[in-house]
Amino acid sequence: MIDFADFLKVDIRVGQIITALPFPEAGKPAYKLTIDFGPDLGAKKTSAQITKHYNPETLTGTFVLAVVNFPPKQIGKFMSEVLVLGVPDDMGEVVLLQPSQEVPLGGRVF
């Protein structure tokens, strides 16, 4: 078990995808995403293996939840700065976690 102080160490924020591009160099099918987290955090980049349920055109403008305080991770020639959150469907394909209503960019999950 963890206590609430441990939970608060994980900084989960809401962002809006502003670009989604194919990432053919990735080992598994993925997209390169740029996500706007509002004026305090700005835009951050990540890659996501979400090609089964999403396409780049429909991802643009989508609100997502992401961990923003992991260290950057090099993926090939691409630097991933945040971790987009999702859960697997019954086939193991990622379904993004999203707020059910529009909320301010950069809003923190508590």
Q: Which tens digits make up the pLDDT trace of 42-92?
A: 999 999 999 999 999 999 999 999 999 999 999 888 999 999 999 999 999
Boundaries of every domain in the chain:
11-93
Superfamily of structural domain 11-93: Nucleic acid-binding proteins (2.40.50.140)
Q: Is the pLDDT of residue 96 over 90?
A: yes
Q: What is the pTM of this model?
A: 0.94
Burial class (CB in 10 A: 0-12, 13-18, 19+), 82: buried
CA distance 80 to 34: 10
Give the H or E element holding residue 46: strand 43-48
Pick from 48, 40, 45: which is nearest to 19 by CA? 45
86 neighbors 50 (Cβ within 8 angstroms) = yes
Structure-token match 């971790």, residue found: 83
